[in-house]
């Protein structure tokens, strides 16, 4: 027969083990259904900023003013095989220009060094082989600058079917941009 002290100690040990298993199971469930990848990034830039797009290396985006006068946060990985499959990052070349159907794109273009695609300051494809514009993160005005929401990546505007960047046919804006998959190893929770 087990003494009451041993029985009480055994009951406590079993209770602690059961509680530990329950906590581990709960945390595994919460982690699997937890918040999406990304975070809110506060910048000190305002819509008056008119310089070259600035890289935010840790959060994998460039922020710069587009022709609509607003700041945009372009994803640092180009769409397509090289960006989303192989992890090649775009660069900003402030001296690059390229002839296009609308004249000369530039000065300054986003360049995909692996795939060869070129994108203007608005993130639109001006030279193939990309099939859509640069993906971007939503931005909003904050108390002291601009807030970038890296929790949801919005797909770039697709080219109309049969169109090429060289033909001068630009993508029509989509009312609700689709969410794209990110490739960034730097994505933070």
Question: Where are the chain's structural domains?
Answer: 1-34, 40-167
Q: Report CA torsion sign: 68, 149, 153, 89.
A: positive
Q: Is the pTM of this model over 0.95?
A: no
d(CA 187, CA 38) in angstroms, rounded, equals 6
The beta-strand segments (E) located in 120-179 are 125-127, 136-142, 145-154
How many whole angstroms separate alpha carbon 36 and alpha carbon 187? Answer: 10
pLDDT by residue, tens only, the chain of 189 residues: 567 888 888 889 899 988 888 777 766 554 444 455 789 999 998 888 888 999 999 999 999 999 888 999 999 998 877 666 677 899 999 988 877 666 666 688 999 988 888 999 999 988 878 888 999 999 999 888 999 999 999 999 887 665 555 555 454 444 456 888 777 555 443
CATH code of the region 40-167 = 2.102.10.10
Angle among Cα 30, 34, 38 to the nearest 5 degrees reads: 155
Tell me how crowded residue 45 is: count the other CB atoms within 10 A of its CB. 17
Contact 71, 47 (CB under 8 A): yes
């Amino acid at each position: 027969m087990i003494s009451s002290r041993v029985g009480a100690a055994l009951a406590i040990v079993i209770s602690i083990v059961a509680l530990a298993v329950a906590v581990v199971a709960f945390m595994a469930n919460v982690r699997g259904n937890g918040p999406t990848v990304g975070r809110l990034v506060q910048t000190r830039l305002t819509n008056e900023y008119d310089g070259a797009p600035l890289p935010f290396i840790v959060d994998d985006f460039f922020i710069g003013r587009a022709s609509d006068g607003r700041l945009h946060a372009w994803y640092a990985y180009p769409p397509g095989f090289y960006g989303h499959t192989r992890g090649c990052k775009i660069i900003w070349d402030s001296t690059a220009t390229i002839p296009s159907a609308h004249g000369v794109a530039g000065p300054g273009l986003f360049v995909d060094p692996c795939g060869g695609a070129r994108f203007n300051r608005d993130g639109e494809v001006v030279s193939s082989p990309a099939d859509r514009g640069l993906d971007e993160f939503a931005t909003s005005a904050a108390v002291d600058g601009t807030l970038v929401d890296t929790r949801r990546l919005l797909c770039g505007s697709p080219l109309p079917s049969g169109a090429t960047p060289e033909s001068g046919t630009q993508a029509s804006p989509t009312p609700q941009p689709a969410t794209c998959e990110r490739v960034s190893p730097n994505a933070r929770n």
